Amino acid sequence: MATSIAISTSVRPALDANQHDALGMVLSGALPLSVFIIVHGMAELAGVMPLFFAPFGLPGWLGAVLHIGSLPLFGIARWMVAQRDDEGRRAGWWLVGLMAGTIALPFMVGPLDSLMLSATTVTLLLVGIAAGLRVAAVSPRAALVMLPGMAWLGLSAFIGLSLAAGWSPPFSLTNAQGQAAQ
């Protein structure tokens, strides 16, 4: 009597972004950029162009590079914590939310007024800080990887909020009177 034994092996896909090797890190960094490119293509078909924050007289393309450059950092930080434990997986999902907000932000600049845009950037910064705290609890090195992207989001939120506050009541009346006198 012949018997057969089924052998069960776990087959991991070759392009798994969660595997802990160099390929997993590269895929984790490239995935948010790929999503941004897809969203940009769909938005362009709809006639919506992204607008990027470029302060201090910097060219707009440099603001775009700095903004989009934070996406691979967030992806790599997610890769560093996602396979640790349950807390790492939860921190990874916070980073996915941060990446989604970072991808969506340039497409929301056009329709929003300055107050709503500054509220949106501050909200995104708060989500980033919450994600950073969760990531730092799992891996301080991953939190350091996030830091340049968080600094750029923080600068954007700070300048946007200060400009919105400067032109919102009661200061807007003072600023308008000051310009009328000149």
Q: Name the DSSP letter for residue 182.
A: -
104 domain residue, yes or no: yes
91 domain residue, yes or no: yes
40 domain residue, yes or no: yes
By the 10 Å C-beta count (0-12 exposed, 13-18 middle, 19+ buried), 132 is classed as: buried
pLDDT in tens, 24-67: 788 888 999 999 999 999 999 998 888 888 888 888 889 889 98
CATH of residue 29's domain is 1.20.1260
4 domain residue, yes or no: no
125 domain residue, yes or no: yes
182 domain residue, yes or no: no
pTM: 0.79
86 domain residue, yes or no: yes
Compute the distance between CA of residue 61 and CA of residue 38 in angstroms, rounded to an integer.
19
The domain total for the chain is: 1
pLDDT in tens, 92-148: 999 999 999 999 999 988 888 878 888 899 999 999 999 999 999 999 999 999 999
52 domain residue, yes or no: yes
Enclosing domain of residue 129: 22-166
